[in-house]
Amino acid sequence: MSVQSVDMFDILSLHRPFVGLRNYIHLFHNPAAGRIALNTLLFTTCSVVAQVTIGFALAVFFQRRFPGAATIRGVFLAAWIMPGLVVGAIWKWMFAGDSGVVNAILAASGLIHAHPFWLSDPHLALPAVIIANIWLGVPFNMILLSVGLAAIPRDLYEAAAMDGAGSIRSFVSITLPMMRATIAAVVSLGIIFTLQQYDLISGLTEGGPANASNVAQYWSWQLSFQTYQIGQGSALAVLMLAVTALVASIYVSSTRREVVA
C-alpha cells in the first residue's frame, strides 16, 4: 500500500493504482515529519542508553548476595510485565500538575517552586514519555545483562585479584570485554522494542501537545486511522520496518558472536 493510491480505487475490483514513491515524497514533505523524526531519534537514543546503563548497574548490584535480593529483583520485574497502557495511566497520574507524585517529590526536595504540567508542556512532554519508557524497560535489560554477567567465569576475577587488580580495573579489563556481545544484543533489542512502543504514548500524551511528544510509530497509526492518509502511514510503516530489520540483523550478528565466543 505504500506504493499504491488508496484514495481512488474501484470498489468492485479493489484495484489501487500504482503511484511509485509518491506516498514517500508526500510523507517527507509533511510539515510534521522533521519534528517527529527528531522526537523519534531522541526518544529511542535516550531510552536505550538509560535503560542499558541503569540495567547494567542493577545487574552488577544484584550479583552480590544479600538478604532480600530475590524479592527486590522481583519488584523490579513487576514494571516489565505491565501492559504499556497501564504504565501510561500510572505515569499520567504521577505527572499530573497539581496532584502528581513527581511534582510533590520535586517540591519537597526544593527543586521546583511552581508545579509544571508535564504532559501539556511542549518542552516537558517528550522528557516525561522518555522517563516512563526508561522505567518500563530497565527490568528487561537487567535480566538479560544479569545472565551475561553470570556466564563470566569467576576464575578470571580471582586471578585478577591475585594480580592486585581492584574492582574498577576488573570491571574495565574483564567485565566489559566479556559482556561486549551481550551488550550489543541488549542494545539492539532495546532499539527494536522502543521503536515498537505504541501503548505507552497512547496512554500518556497521544503524541501531544502539537506533536511535541509524537514519534514515528504513533504517527504512522495517526496517519492511517485518524487522518486517513493511509498511503503515507503505510510508507512510514515500511521505513520503520527497514530500520527494525537492520537493527535485527545487528542483534543476530551479536548473538552469533556470543555463541562462537
Query: What structural domains does the chain harbor?
Result: 22-260 (1.10.3720.10)
Report the pLDDT value the prediction gives residue 10, as an integer from 0 to 100: 57
pLDDT at 8 over 60: no
Q: What is the mean pLDDT of residues 178-195?
A: 91
CA distance 11 to 52: 50
pLDDT for 9 = 56
Confidence grade of residue 112 (pLDDT, cut at 50, 70, 90): confident
Q: What is the pLDDT of residue 69?
A: 75
Predicted pLDDT at 191: 94
CA distance 47 to 125: 14
Q: Is 206 helix (H, G, I), strand (E, B) or coil?
A: coil
Q: Which residue has the higher pLDDT, 12 or 222?
A: 222
- Torsion sign over Cα 193, 217, 243, 57: negative
- Given this model, what pLDDT does residue 162 score? 86
Only one residue has cell 537487567, namely 142
- For residue 81, give every residue at least 6 positions away whose Cβ sits within 8 Å of its Cβ, in sequence order, or none: none
For residue 42, give the nearest of 143, 145, 123, 139 by alpha carbon. 123
> Long-range contacts of range 44-49, CB-CB < 8 Å, 24 or more positions apart?
44/191, 44/194, 44/195, 46/130, 46/134, 47/130, 47/133, 47/134, 47/137, 47/190, 47/194, 48/187, 48/190, 48/191, 48/194
Which band of pLDDT confidence, cut at 50, 70 and 90, is reported for residue 253? confident
Looking at residue 22, its pLDDT comes to 87
| Percent of the chain's residues with pLDDT above 70 | 90
- Confidence at 82, pLDDT banded by 50, 70, 90: confident
Query: Does residue 77 or residue 48 have the better pLDDT?
Result: 48
